[in-house]
A and B are shown apart, each in its own frame.
Chain A
Amino acid sequence: MSNKIKIATTSLAGCFGCHMSFLDIDERITALAEVVEFDRSPLTDIEHCGPCDIGLIEGGVCNSENVHVLREFRKNCKVLVAVGACAINGGLPALRNFVSVEACLLEAYRDGIGVDNPQIPNDPELPLLLDKVHPIHEIVKVDYFMPGCPPSADVFWTFLSALIEGREPSLPYELVHYD
């Protein structure tokens, strides 16, 4: 059995920008790959999360599927990290919190400019929308937070290096950003 640190990642109501920023650690990813192994993640296509050391959650919670995925991560990850503005405060998707779900759907699928063949999607496979978008700490216990929209590659590197080496992560002033 490998004794590499297991990391799982996912994007809930996010834009994958945090994942892109993670990949901006560039060649440092080879050093990372020496010590970690990825479980469920858009980088591996593994569909369900097994027992992991670290779970990175991008995005807030906007639908029923997000809730299930978040709970799966919490159950399986020793350390759960909220990554980026949306996971921490809802971010851009939470701007819909000031409009009803009905009004949102009507605007997007029936009344909005350029809508063709207007109909509200209702396939049973589609996850149901929650009435509001929530940051993840309102649903599960979160151990650490990496702010930023997105957090820079240096934030990922600083945070993960500390976690992997068993140190308490701390960010210097320059790396604390909400934008």
Chain B
Amino acid sequence: MSKLGVFDVSVRYGKVPALTDVSFTVEEGERMFISGPNGAGKSSLLKAICGAVPTTHGRIEVDGDMLNGRSPEVIARLGLTMVPEGREIFGTLTVEENLRVGTGIRPDKPAVETDIDEVYQSFPILGERRHTNAGALSGGQQQMLAIGRGLMTNPKLMLVDEPSLGLAPNIVDQVYDTLVNLQNDRGLTLIIVEQSSARAARVGGRMVLLRGGSVVGDGDAAKFAESDLLKEAYFGQNKAEDAT
């Protein structure tokens, strides 16, 4: 389960195009990084997949189910979950309440309690602070909570937007270790936005490179780390732009 297909997807905010005809597929259990410079459309792509922004063109499918035009709450029920940029944890709710928000869609209510314990095992600090308001957590703890909260929906496909943003390198290591372990344990399909190609290469997986709202590269993350394509995507100007 959980093969994702994105076909010719475009997104625009008013007149500003954020994505233009983006296509790729992700296999079940695969780990894929999305990289690219600021404003490349990485977040917009994740938002389009989970229904937070509408697409203006193209189609998005999970296991043959069309996602576009569906509301985020319906898409969540299909087994997709989003760990957004900036974490967006509920600061006025306690840590444990944050974990429970997404469990309403699960038919397997008894498993919720064991899953909460499992999240506390993966992130012991969350267990210690389960009754504190989440707004009082540190940035790294909030990132762990956002991942735990996503896991509590029992997803098949998890979209994680820049988990390393603003975190100390050792915390980033910890977050990635946990993500990889969770993926191995549960057979999750993972799509992670990661600006650092070195980091992506170290964790390992496939990488799709976005620039100016289009896919400019798709391949093994380790190969990208040394390639000129990456530098070009970040710093270079392509021929078309030079001509104008």
Co-assembled chains A and B: no
